[in-house]
A and B are shown apart, each in its own frame.
Chain A
Amino acid sequence: METPGFLEPFQGRWTKRHLLDLESLTSDEITLLLDVAQAFKDSTENCRRKLSILTGRTSVNLFFEDSTRTRTSFSLAARRLGADVVEFSASSSSLSKGETLLDTAKTIESMCIDTLVCRHKAPGTPQMLAKNLDCGVINAGDGPHEHPTQGLLDILTIRQHRGTLAGKTVAMVGDIAHSRTARSNIWGLQKLGAHVIVCGPSTLVSRRWEEFGVEVSHDLDSILPRCDVLNLLRIQFERQYTRPFPSVREYALLYAMDRKRMERAKSDILIMAPGPINRGVEITPEVADGEHSVILHQVNNGLAVRMAAMWLLNDGRATS
């Protein structure tokens, strides 16, 4: 299938087999992904138009964790490019019969697939698959490690609204310790020149994060006036044994973005959340649905980013 004209400038510039994290990508590679995603948005009626550039290719969604937006987004992205999509459910697979994860993945791969999209609660699972499989692997979230396409769609959203990341101050607030979104954002944002603040209770944002070159804060009110972007992360109670703060009420009092705090923020602040959002915990409804919120833009950008990743890993990749 011939490459559409809008993708020709990007053809052959991607060299990697997999998309596993943002830590190992260069700023040029991140920019390329963003540019291709933007091109898809601009040229396909906001990713509505169906293309046929991956006709004959097959993508498998291998999800071991519940997911609504990411799984749907990857499925739609593949279909909008013309690829066939297979949805894999861990609970009804041979894994429940005792087959190892790797054997399951190899079995699927042997059915001539091109891309494997993997989500797993254990960090490193997509990396392990990538090492052992020939098909391209995309990390759709590996425990608290990374969620590269989420990071990219967040960054794309900021770029669309602010033009550039350089010099911008982006704060992520909430459960940094257990957040794969935070980790991918930190690498991506810093590589593109943003100043990153991670903010939350000290039990979820330890001083160790300063080693990443980010600013650590436990006081949202004090950093708020400096922020161009606020990314509000969900508290991941399911990953914790003991509650890292006394009560949800206390957490909301200290860290929830509400109308009162909006008054302290910059007048053009962007409010983001990777979702799912817990209204009343990290964000109040009037802020989530307010004029500064770009939460649904993020979801829409997710489609573009995943189309970009699928195309680059398949037809857009440099042939060696």
Chain B
Amino acid sequence: MPRTLILNGRVIDPSQGIDRITNLLIDEGRIGAIDVDANTSAARVIDASGKLVVPGLIDLNVQIREPGFEEDETIESAAFAALAGGFTSIAAISETNPPVDSAAAVTYLGRQATDADHCNVYPVACVSSGRQGEEMAEIGILNNAGAIAFSDGQRPVSNPELLRRALEYTLMFNRPVLNRPEMVELSRDGVMHDGKVSTVLGLAPMPTEAEDVMAARDIRICEATGGKLHLLGISCSGTVEILRRAKMRSVGVTASICAYQFAETDEAMRDFHTSFKLNPPLRSADHIKACIAGLKDGTIDVIASGHAPRSSEKKMCAITEAPFGMVGLETALGLVSTHLVAAGHLDWSTVIKAMSFNAAQVLGLAKGTLQVGADADITIIDPQHRWTVDTTDYRSKSFNCPFHGVELIGRAVETIVGGVSKFRYDAA
């Protein structure tokens, strides 16, 4: 494998506390060295002047729709979209039919990903058989087949006994359970954040208590079992506070937030745009502020895309009938760069830690770092590049993105996986 030299980039690696302009060498698909001489021999030289050179981004909340819903997204298209968004690894959460609750399904997912040959795709298998929330799936067999985590995806594990058993059982394999904290009895039929806007629009609300109460329950069970629990897509100030207190008690819980959460408030729903129908929903400004504070102090560990592709025909309907979700892989970094970094809330180091190193830690991957000898998964970011979201240019099969036509600042310009350049952005 040819050596690649990345010159004059601002190398940011939170795992080593590095943030400086320097040169980085890729050798044999691994990080060869940092701070190497600019004259080091290499088959390819990348001029990264003015760019950020960071550990490849890792997304732990990607809905995979194949098999069963290939009209929304395939494993191949999701992995390609991930590269375009700067992600070198994604955790594929089962939103499929049949669900990923068998070794065959895990193997299939892995094979499709290998055939696609884009980014790393890690299968996340179901917590419960058939994602029915009743019986524990064959976690040991799924683990042996290659599942790196367990989740029922958008369907929260409502049964506390099942969650307790799953957290205890996964301890044997040192695997995390990724659970969406939502008490569905409180958010049933809800379409948007419960607030003044939902009252004005007459849209059924999703109260913050639905998340807060479930998060508190999940954390208590996590604490009792000592398991590895990750809360997917938190969005409420109450949840942030509950998490903060749990972490002070050293509970083994982590949490992620979706990038879109920072881009808009619930006011965006005034357009009744089905692409803004999201779960977790867009919240009000006070909740966003609390979540940013949570990211700053490390209460929230990870920023994910919350990628939930849905084909156009599924969103071209009344808002109450439309499924939740938006495609997020290709805009996540741009949204974060624009609304968190350029807006002055967070520095790049904190963002990269949340989008790479911490995600790797949650998933138990030896990634998210530029340490010498680590896999050369690298994202090169142009933090100043202004670009306009154009869904017609998406690699994802779906276009359900409410940010079409919106200008963002900052994007991935090159995505390198295992030392191989898999995606290059052509600004022209």
Which residues of A pack against B, CB within 8 Å? 23, 100-103, 120-125, 127-128, 142-146, 178, 180, 183, 206, 208-209, 211-212, 241
Contacts and interface: CB of A to CB of B under 8 A. Distances in A.
Q: Is the interface of B mostly helix, strand, loop or mixed?
A: loop
A123 B190 CA distance: 12
A183 B200 contact: yes
B297 interface: no
Interface string B56-73: 000000000000000000
Contacts of B200: 23, 183, 212
Nearest to B196: A211
Nearest to B315: A100
Given A23-B200, A208-B199, A103 B272 contact: no
A122 B188 contact: no
B320 A101 contact: no
Contact of B272 (A100, A127, A206, A211): A127
A127 B203 CA distance: 14
A124 B272 contact: yes
Contacts of A142: 202
B171 interface: no
Given A101-B316, A101-B318, A143-B320, A123 B202 contact: yes
A123 B317 contact: no
Contacts of A206: 199
A123 to B, nearest CB: 5
Interface in B195-215: 195-196, 199-203
Contacts of A143: 202-203, 320
Contacts of B321: 122
Given A121-B320, A122-B321, 13 more contacts: A23-B200, A102-B316, A122-B319, A122-B320, A123-B319, A123-B320, A124-B272, A125-B318, A127-B272, A128-B318, A145-B203, A183-B202, A206-B199
B135 interface: no
B324 to A, nearest CB: 15
A144 B196 contact: no
16 contacts: A100-B316, A102-B316, A103-B316, A123-B202, A124-B201, A124-B319, A128-B272, A143-B202, A144-B203, A145-B203, A178-B202, A180-B202, A206-B199, A208-B195, A211-B196, A241-B188
Nearest to A24: B270
B37 interface: no
Contacts of A241: 188-189
Nearest to A120: B318
Nearest to B322: A122
A211 B196 CA distance: 7
Contacts of B272: 123-125, 127-128
B117 interface: no
In the A-B complex, the 9 residue pairs with the closest CB atoms: A124-B272, A144-B202, A122-B318, A145-B202, A122-B320, A100-B316, A123-B202, A125-B318, A211-B196
Contacts of B203: 123-124, 143-145
B313 interface: yes
Which size class do B's interface residues fall under?
A: 10 to 19
Contact of A100 (B201, B271, B313, B320): B313
Contacts of B188: 241
A79 to B, nearest CB: 28
A132 to B, nearest CB: 9
Contacts of A124: 201, 203, 272, 318-319
Contacts of B199: 206, 208-209, 211-212
Interface of B: 188-189, 195-196, 199-203, 271-272, 274, 313, 316-321
B404 to A, nearest CB: 14
Nearest to B272: A124
A21 B345 CA distance: 38
Contacts of A125: 272, 318-319
Contacts of A212: 199-200
A212 B316 CA distance: 31
B277 to A, nearest CB: 10
Contacts of A127: 271-272
B72 to A, nearest CB: 16
A124 B200 CA distance: 11
A147 to B, nearest CB: 10
Contacts of A120: 318
A185 to B, nearest CB: 13
Contacts of B318: 101, 120-122, 124-125, 128
B202 A100 contact: no
Contacts of A102: 316-317
Contacts of B189: 241
Contacts of B201: 123-124, 145
A250 B189 CA distance: 27
Nearest to A125: B318
Contacts of A146: 202
B71 to A, nearest CB: 14
Contacts of B195: 208
B196 A208 contact: yes
Nearest to A121: B320
A23 B196 CA distance: 14
Given A123-B272, A128-B272, A100 B196 contact: no
B142 to A, nearest CB: 35
Nearest to A103: B316
A145 B201 CA distance: 5
Nearest to A132: B316
A45 to B, nearest CB: 37
Contacts of B320: 121-123, 143
A33 B121 CA distance: 59
Contacts of A128: 272, 274, 318-319
Nearest to A178: B202
Contact of B317 (A101, A178, A211): A101
A282 to B, nearest CB: 19
Contacts of B271: 127
A176 to B, nearest CB: 9
A128 B196 CA distance: 21
Interface-centre pick from B272, B317, B320 (highest chain A CB count, 10 A): B272
Nearest to B188: A241
B188 to A, nearest CB: 6
A57 to B, nearest CB: 27
